[in-house]
């Protein structure tokens, strides 16, 4: 594998904090995890969904979230996640880095 192919390789495992957006002003902290070609979302240590990657559809990263959020469907449910902790401007850069990683995985 060449160096450029290694750079383009998708991560096989990924786990980052996220905030599930509810309505206009509410969010719930959780964890988004990729492992063995499955996407899992946890809230308060409880698995809220566990889906094969090919069941994650309608993936979008709206421009107005500046790379810090993503939305998609998992089965019949729609989800919106922020990678930036609400009210924590000092975490924007980290959230956008995490967003870029998830974009590579989910918008393939």
Q: CATH number of the domain that 14 lies in?
A: 2.30.29.30
- pTM for the model stands at 0.84
Percentage of the chain modeled with pLDDT above 70: 92
Q: Which residue has the tokens 């969904």?
A: 49
Burial of residue 14 (CB within 10 Å: 0-12, 13-18, 19+) is middle
In Å, the largest CA–CA distance within the chain is: 46
Mean pLDDT of the 85-105 span: 90
Domain count, the chain: 1
Burial of residue 56 (CB within 10 Å: 0-12, 13-18, 19+) is buried
| Domain containing residue 56 | 3-106
Please determine, for residue 61, whether its predicted confidence score (pLDDT) is greater than 60. yes
Q: If pLDDT is split at 50, 70 and 90, which confidence band does 3 have? A: very low
Note the pLDDT of residue 1: 42
Q: If pLDDT is split at 50, 70 and 90, which confidence band does 8 have? A: low
């Amino acid at each position: 594998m060449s160096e450029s192919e290694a750079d383009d390789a998708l991560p096989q495992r990924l786990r980052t904090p996220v905030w599930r957006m509810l309505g206009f002003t509410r969010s719930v902290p959780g964890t988004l995890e990729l492992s063995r070609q499955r996407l899992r979302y946890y809230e308060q240590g409880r698995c809220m969904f566990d889906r094969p990657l090919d069941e994650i559809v309608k993936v979008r990263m709206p421009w107005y979230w500046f790379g810090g959020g993503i939305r998609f469907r998992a089965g019949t449910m729609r989800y919106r996640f922020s990678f930036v902790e609400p009210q924590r401007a000092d975490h924007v850069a980290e959230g956008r880095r995490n967003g870029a990683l998830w974009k590579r995985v989910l918008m393939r």
